[in-house]
Structure 1
């Protein structure tokens, strides 16, 4: 009689199947808060645009309010990075959300009364939005274990992409029943949810090489602590190379989308349908890219991410030649897929590699440079088109989008987005 085979050892047993990250209550609360902040962020300019349509605001006033919001965002990002590393990341999210939530009804009060009051409130709203970005990024690392952070970051970016569609649509739907004042109060309630719903994470320990908080007070202490974050970023060559590539792509490719795409849609195709179709294709591609990267673990994650980032070059390139609108939409869908193939591993690598007590400051540097320089590109591209022509400028943007990630890939540590190439998160 044959002897029964021995039961498999633990080494031979298949690994347990991981539970979906959205079934984790702590992360679900964080994800809900981030989604609420995303809805509020995307709804505000749309609601203010509705105020222009009903002549409550002028176009000039709208430009002033959006500029004030951008200034508040850029001013708050580095400050929030320092505060989120110095104090509780959960506390920064709370106070940032409360500030943005209080600003929304103040904007409503200023309608037809005081543009300066509205601009000040818009700056506070932008500051709340900017303060949340590095705090949410660092809080994710506290709430989620290392093995599931890529899935968590994919879920977070999925929420961002969904809100780009749902935010304006929901605002337009509610505008049928509510006036602008009520919609602004609703945005304030969304910020209140963003402030109060996320829970507290388990603060990771300080890295062995981390220094104590800098002595001093006020601006001197802030600059010293932010400088520590810059020094931490410089310890990671892959981060500097990737950030340079991301900044270049956003400053050129994003600017081409924001300025040149409406012009090409109007002049070459004679319809706004192309513009709407292209933006829908980009968002759909981004959703698909986030779903893909939630499960995919490439052998060289950094190079795969940079290749995805380079895919944004197809967007301005499709506007250079007189092609069928479907080709332009396909190019933007590829750009959307590629940007998420970059974003999710990029955020995950930062959460893994950066010293835990400096993560918020490094994240704030990321947002400050990559998104902070985008308005510069928007301001420059229109005069450049007037001087050199649309074709030349779009071709130049495409070249930069392809060349910047390829150049970054020459830095050896970008292959794995790690200073230790063999180190990777477990799937």
Structure 2
């Protein structure tokens, strides 16, 4: 029987740091939005600030993957968190001191996006180094549960902090969470991941990561599915959801729907702590079909109960898939290429989202919001059916780890 992942100090420090980081990440978007509005900006200016952050995040993530396979991943996490604490501290100082501006927020937002991209692949890849292989699925599940709960708390606190203290002080708290996370990451003690004996140029190493992705059919196929999912669903949630649900059921109902979805994430994570299907990726891909329930409920039901159920099913199904997906990557990708593969996964997941956000409004105006939400649900279901026909997805099985020694590290 494998030891509980939380018995391993390195994993505890990793989860603690990542959870504190996400607590601040839940606060930052709300505080930043009100900061832009307080400086006289509107939807266009806010979109510019948020868009530049996202663009920098996607643009730098490949290099974050390369560095995560070149350097100790703990160093990447500590350095990125410390630098982010400084940058976000300057943002907070400018707002509290009254000398901020929208161009300044946009420029510092680009820096924060780059730092987030540099840390992301290393953070994901490091899980495998902190626990024995027998505890890997539990470690992934516990980490996701803790981070989802932290994000829920951070988002809930954000509005209270902005109202009580202002955007500047709320972002100062976000800066402090980066500093605390850096201190927690500094306590991680793990053996360095295997590395290639010879180092090629930066772009050649990116190419090596891409070849590792293409070597696994299940990997590139589901990255393409993620791209399609974010292209269609991103706009359905962020653009049409507030309009359709808000108009039919009231604005408060949209907040309840998002809360129901987050509860689905947490419940899904708890299920994966005990349920370990042999073909976790194949089973998880079928559960991904549940994500169609939310857009279809918004399209065809005026019942609040059904919309909340659809939102909960979306979060639940996506979390079951996400754990199986993460476990499959951790177990089957070469350790010296793991961070680079995660960087391609992140690009595939998020590069299409801005396009979907831009196109959703015009397409919904052309065919109708409810019709477009139906299309989104159909695309999700169709992509799941295509993915599950793949022999590589169907046959990929979790590993049988070697039994651990009787005495686990405490």
**1:231 CA displacement:** 0.2
**1:52 CA displacement:** 5.0
Q: 1:57 to 1:42 in 2, by over 3 A?
A: farther
**1:274 CA displacement:** 1.5
* Partner in structure 1 of residue 193 of structure 2: 204
Q: Distance in 1 between matches of 2:144 and 2:399?
A: 24
Q: Distance in 2 between matches of 1:297 and 1:171?
A: 36
| 1:246–1:309 CA contact under 8 A, matched in 2 | no
* Partner in structure 2 of residue 255 of structure 1: 235
* Partner in structure 2 of residue 120 of structure 1: 107
**1:134 CA displacement:** 0.7
**Could you say what secondary structure the match of 1:203 adopts?**
coil
TM-score (norm 2): 0.91
* Partner in structure 2 of residue 218 of structure 1: none
1:213 to 195, 199, 222: 199
* Partner in structure 2 of residue 226 of structure 1: 206
Q: Distance in 1 between matches of 2:310 and 2:9?
A: 38
Q: Distance in 1 between matches of 2:359 and 2:163?
A: 37
**1:177 CA displacement:** 4.3
Q: 1:425 to 1:109 in 2, by over 3 A?
A: same
**1:372 CA displacement:** 2.1
**1:135 CA displacement:** 0.7
1:290 aligns with 2:269: yes
1:58 aligns with 2:49: no
Q: Distance in 1 between matches of 2:389 and 2:383?
A: 10
**1:423 CA displacement:** 4.0
Structure 2 matches for 1:134-173, cutoff 5 A? 134-173=121-160
| 1:105–1:184 CA contact under 8 A, matched in 2 | yes
1:71 aligns with 2:55: yes
Q: RMSD of the alignment, in Å?
A: 2.0
* Partner in structure 1 of residue 10 of structure 2: 26
**Could you say what secondary structure the match of 1:294 adopts?**
helix
1:193 to 180, 183, 191: 180
| 1:244–1:404 CA contact under 8 A, matched in 2 | no
Q: 1:394 to 1:175 in 2, by over 3 A?
A: closer
Q: 1:161 to 1:422 in 2, by over 3 A?
A: closer
For this pair of structures, how many residues does the alignment match? Answer: 397
**1:211 CA displacement:** 7.2
The structure whose residues are more often helix, as a share, is: 2
Q: Distance in 1 between matches of 2:398 and 2:32?
A: 50
**Could you say what secondary structure the match of 1:328 adopts?**
helix
| 2:230–2:350 CA contact under 8 A, matched in 1 | yes
Structure with higher Rg: it is 1
* Partner in structure 1 of residue 116 of structure 2: 129
**Could you say what secondary structure the match of 1:298 adopts?**
coil
Q: Distance in 1 between matches of 2:390 and 2:100?
A: 55
Q: Distance in 1 between matches of 2:232 and 2:26?
A: 22
1:264 aligns with 2:250: no
Gaps of 5+ in 1: 1-15, 215-220
Q: Distance in 2 between matches of 1:359 and 1:52?
A: 37
* Partner in structure 2 of residue 235 of structure 1: 215
* Partner in structure 2 of residue 217 of structure 1: none
The structure showing larger relative contact order (alpha-carbon pairs under 8 Å, at least 6 residues apart) is: 2
1:38 aligns with 2:22: yes
**Could you say what secondary structure the match of 2:165 adopts?**
coil
TM-score (norm 1): 0.88
**Could you say what secondary structure the match of 1:212 adopts?**
coil
Q: Distance in 1 between matches of 2:207 and 2:286?
A: 31
